[in-house]
Amino acid sequence: MKRSVKQVSLVLVLLLCVAMLGAQGVVEKPEIKVLILDMFEVGENKGDFAGEFQYFYETYLDGAEVYELNEMPLKLYINDEGVAGCIAGMGKAQAAASLTTILTDPRFDTSNTYIVVSGCSGMSPERGTLGDVVWADELVDYELGHGWQQSDIVAGYEGTFLRSEGYDRPGYITLNKDLAQWAYDLTVDVPLLDDPSAAAYRANYSASEANEKPAVRMGVSVTGDSYWHGSASSARADEVTAAYGAGTYMVTQMEDNGFGVAAMNHGLLERLLVCRDVVNFDQPYPGQTVRESLDASSGAFSIGMKNGFAVASTVIDALVSNWDTYKNQTPSSK
């Protein structure tokens, strides 16, 4: 009899536990619709001189839920509409590590996330101008391969780079070109700011492209951990992109292939968008040394931050506003 009572009591306790769990409900993971990745901030996240993150934080993430992710420290902000963002850090290794940390965190639903990289970049004066914003359709790693210095050029081979197919997966990443084209078409007429200081600086360059007004463009983004500078380095970027059969490089930066590899590893490469604003030319003007060019202020940093935000936020708003459609179907201009 006592054994029977104990069994009944155990059953009642189990039923009570189940009932309590049911009453509490299942805690749903926050669904991240759009993940904004910036590389750095100059000061605070709001209210002072703006770096890459500030305008996104002030518009989407001020007051949003904050999640501590690792000891970088990496903080992820997620608002009630499913827009998330963070300062991911600079360089390929940190970029890949930060995105991987977010995509593997069990607290978040990232199964349908669009990843929007927005940050500053350099550009050849023969490709465009200060204040431009470029959507990337291909990513090329500047360093991953076999290379040598110009002073060590091999007889019979005039270049400084030799493609190695074993590095192709992270070295040459083709993005979803339909998605990139959609983003470009959506934003090509977004008004962009210019600045008298930037106009005065670009006037030092003879290329007609360098003296155009800021515009939205599309092309290859070249990633290098080294903040390279100079006409010879620019020629090498052309050499590397040609080795992969990629298009003309438009911008240079330090993270995009890292983000691309992480997105690829987690099945989200088709939802990766890279938006780069141009804040400097990647080589000096006539009569200026490389070191002088590196130390100079182009006058374009502030307009780059504003133009990059204006373009990227247009796409973010469109994705969120049409989430019922874009959750399961990536947008296309076709």
For the chain, which residues make up each domain, given as ranges? Answer: 28-326
What is the pLDDT averaged over residues 3-16?
46
Which DSSP string corresponds to 203-263? TT---TGGGSPP-EEEEEEEE-SS---SHHHHHHHHHHHHHHT---EEEEESSHHHHHHHH
* Local confidence band at 19 (pLDDT 50, 70, 90 cut-offs): very low
Query: For residue 72, what are the CA distances in angstroms to 75, 108, 285, 317, 324?
Result: 9, 19, 37, 29, 35
User: Rounded to 10 degrees, what is the CA torsion of 261, 91, 146, 165?
Assistant: 10
**Predicted pLDDT at 197:** 97
Instruction: Tell me what percent of the residues of the chain surpass a pLDDT of 90.
Output: 82
How high is the mean pLDDT of the chain?
A: 91
**Predicted pLDDT at 1:** 46
* Local confidence band at 26 (pLDDT 50, 70, 90 cut-offs): low
* Local confidence band at 27 (pLDDT 50, 70, 90 cut-offs): low
pLDDT, tens digit, 9 for 90 and up, residues 88-135: 999 999 999 999 999 999 999 999 999 999 999 999 999 999 999 999
Name the fold adopted by 28-326: Rossmann fold (3.40.50)
**Predicted pLDDT at 154:** 74
pLDDT, tens digit, 9 for 90 and up, residues 158-188: 788 788 888 999 999 999 999 999 999 999 9
**Predicted pLDDT at 147:** 80
pLDDT tops 70 at residue 17: no
Query: For residue 57, what are the CA distances in angstroms to 13, 116, 180?
Result: 48, 14, 24
What is the pLDDT averaged over residues 292-314?
97
* 135 DSSP β-pair partners: 218, 275
pLDDT tops 50 at residue 8: no
